[in-house]
């Protein structure tokens, strides 16, 4: 199974520190996952860049779904 994965993260996240997120990125990459990572300067909050990345990430699937309906 080939999966696409989006990871969004803050460089100053006290709950999920960047080192843990980078380890997760490395793991997904080692599995051959099509990985997209988006980082922002903030912490654990949701940044606009993450919302934009999520929209871009989901657009292909949403277009396919719309074609089926």
pLDDT tens-digit profile of 15-68?
999 999 999 999 999 999 999 999 999 999 999 999 999 999 999 888 888 887
Residue 3 has pLDDT above 90, yes or no: no
pLDDT of 39 reads: 98
At 20, list the tokens.
């843990």
Residue 1 has pLDDT above 60, yes or no: no
DSSP conformation letters of 42-65: S-SSPPHHHHHHHHHHHHHHHHHH
- Give the integer Cα–Cα distance in Å for 53 and 17: 20
SS3 content of the chain, % helix, strand, coil (to 5): 50, 20, 30
Rg of the chain on CA atoms, in Å: 14
The predicted model scores a pTM of 0.85
At 44, list the tokens.
């654990």
């Amino acid at each position: 199974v080939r999966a696409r994965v989006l990871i969004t993260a803050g460089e100053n996240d006290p709950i999920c520190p960047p080192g843990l997120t980078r380890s997760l990125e490395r793991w997904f990459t080692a599995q051959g996952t099509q990985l997209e990572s988006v980082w922002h300067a903030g912490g654990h909050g949701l940044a606009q860049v993450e919302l934009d990345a999520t929209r871009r990430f989901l657009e292909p699937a949403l277009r396919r779904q719309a074609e089926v309906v």
